[in-house]
Amino acid sequence: MHDLVIRGGQLVDGTGSAPVSGDLAIDGGRIASVGGRAGAGRREIDASGALVTPGFVDIHTHFDGQVTWDAHLSPSNGHGVTTAVFGNCGVGFAPARPSERVWLVDLMEGVEDIPGSALSEGIRWSWESFPEYLDALDAGRYAMDVGAQMPHGPLRTYVMGERGVANEEATERDIAEMSRLTREALDAGALGFSTSRVLIHKSKSGELVPGTFASRDELFGIGRAIAQAGHGVFQLTSIHASLHSEYAWIEELARTLGVTVQFNLQQADAAPEQWREVLAMIERAQAAGSRVFAGIAGRPAGLLFSWRSSLHPFFGYPSWREIAGLPWHEKLARLRDPAFRARMLAQRPRDLGEFANFMTRSHHKMFVLGDAPEYEPDPSTSIAARAEARGCSPESMLYDAMMADDGTALVYFPVFNYANGNMDHLVTLMRSEATVLSLGDGGAHCGVICDASLPTYMLTHWARDRARGERLPIEFVVRRLTHDTARSYGIGDRGVLAPGLRADINIIDHAGLRLNAPRMAFDLPTGARRLVQWADGYVATIVAGVPVRENGIDTGALPGRLIRAQR
């Protein structure tokens, strides 16, 4: 008898082939057969009318700290993710001397908006070197497999101390040591190396991520370590406005060293057509044999504004600063006071800087999210448009929208990928072989972004519900979430339903699949806040042949392990 048989589902195998009806059998944590009629199983799951897909591989998360206290890695576990890769954007927690731990928490809190109190309380430190960090992860048991990358920020701090934190230029000796430690991490099983060159990526104390201005010699020195190790991705979080100048060394690094380079690509309002030029450059590089890829998102990178968010449109108002430190019930009482409302709306906000001003004052890009969240809203429903129709100021319309649901309502602001008021350009990006789905940021941006639900969104919006443009075939969407993401990191034992491969499986009621509205929870260590979003419609998520969630409930099983990359 088979260990587990999934009966009569629509098999969407991850290769891009059309769905077929049949059974799937599992033995010893591996897929035994796909299609046709399987023999009896010790346990059988009826998948009639449901999709059966490979488990989703999320290559851009920030669970570096959460993985040490949360074996389920929520909320990604609620969206069919069976493999999570972290250590992105140049931030993480290894290597780290005991004296550097506080600084690394400060860095992660500033860059990724993960409450420092939760990290300080929750992380179970038991390592200094990166191989020791991997050993600590290897000792854990999880509801999904996990993989880690060597982040530039901790590496530079470990090697250069205060000079690294201050982003001073690395010496030849510094570069040699960073290269040695990167090679050591890769040999121990790291999946890659990551760095950030984004000027808004700062620690809570205001320092840019170490490595933001790293020289060509430093970047290529580390790149050579990846080439020598024979595996690993060079992951880069890039500045959208300067991608043209950055791209030259990115492509050169991939071409001359033969390494895989992946950098983020999104549509920015300041240059809404630049993505076309960059995509064309990547496609030319790939045609010439270079392994360059753009990490893209399947929806806008969207902020969720509320009175309890890390940032909202009234953040710079004097009246908000008066009440910002009050307990929630007192703050809410003040916000409900008509006199307080009138006083705030009569004020002018202070200057928060160019990017923050753009996010907090662009009312034409603000939308009430609602209970059935819409991430491709019609511009005619924006706060600005609704205010014009009512004959009031957008600020007053926004204030009242945020006061709904006892002051917990969310207002959606698509920062990137919405310059044209739709997501048509994402169809081109997603159909290109030069791109890979990324940027879900599971575990990060706890107080203002909640994009870990991207796998579910891909299945609902793009493969079923989209009303304002082209939809995508379900087999295409599944391939992008499974085979393509797994292969982009050289993880070849999963991502496809095929005999002998790892039995990471999702069983999905596609017709009933639904994204719930995000909500603010206070369930991190120390009761710290985070935005969470769950979904209905996942019949089961299976890791290594073991169901870890059934009908939205954790089973308690923890078959997930650390992935150690191999040459």
CA distance 379 to 385: 8
**E strand residue ranges, 475-554:** 505-508, 514-515, 519-521, 530-532, 535-536, 538-543, 546-550, 553-554
Instruction: Return the closest-CA partner of residue 436 out of 58, 116, 87.
Output: 58
Residue 566: what pLDDT?
A: 80
Amino acid identity of residue 416, one-letter, is F
Residue 297: partners with Cβ closer than 8 Å, 6 or more residues away: 266, 416, 417, 426, 437, 438, 439, 440, 451, 454
Alpha-helical regions (H) of 161-237: 162-165, 172-188, 216-229
Return left, alpha or beta for 14; rule: phi > 0 is left, psi -120 to 50 is alpha, else beta.
left
Closest CA to 387 of 363, 365, 422: 363
Predicted local confidence at residue 30, as pLDDT = 98
- Any residues with CB less than 8 A from the CB of 252 and at least 6 apart, and which? none
DSSP structural state of residue 242: G
Q: What tokens were used for 169?
A: 């230029």
pLDDT at residue 361, as a whole number: 95
Strands (E), 231-348: 233-237, 260-264, 292-296, 302-305
- Looking at the DSSP bridge assignments, the partners of residue 530 are 521
Token representation of residue 286: 């790939």
d(CA 141, CA 148): 15
Cα–Cα distance measured from residue 79 to residue 86, given in angstroms and rounded to the nearest whole number = 17
What pLDDT shows up at residue 243?
74
Q: Which CA distances in Å does 482 have to 147, 162, 487?
A: 15, 41, 8
Q: Name 194's bridge partners.
A: 151, 235
Residues of the chain where predicted confidence (pLDDT) is lower than 70? 240-242
CB atoms within 10 A of CB 424: 12
Task: Compute the residue count for the chain.
Answer: 567
State residue 240's pLDDT score: 65
For residue 292, CA distances in Å to 186, 251, 262, 288, 325 come to 20, 7, 6, 11, 46
pLDDT digit string, tens, across residues 117-169: 999 999 999 999 999 999 999 999 999 999 999 999 999 999 999 999 999 99
Of 551, 484, 456, nearest in space to 80 by CA: 456
Closest CA to 183 of 135, 134, 226: 226
Cis? peptide before 499, omega within 30° of 0: no
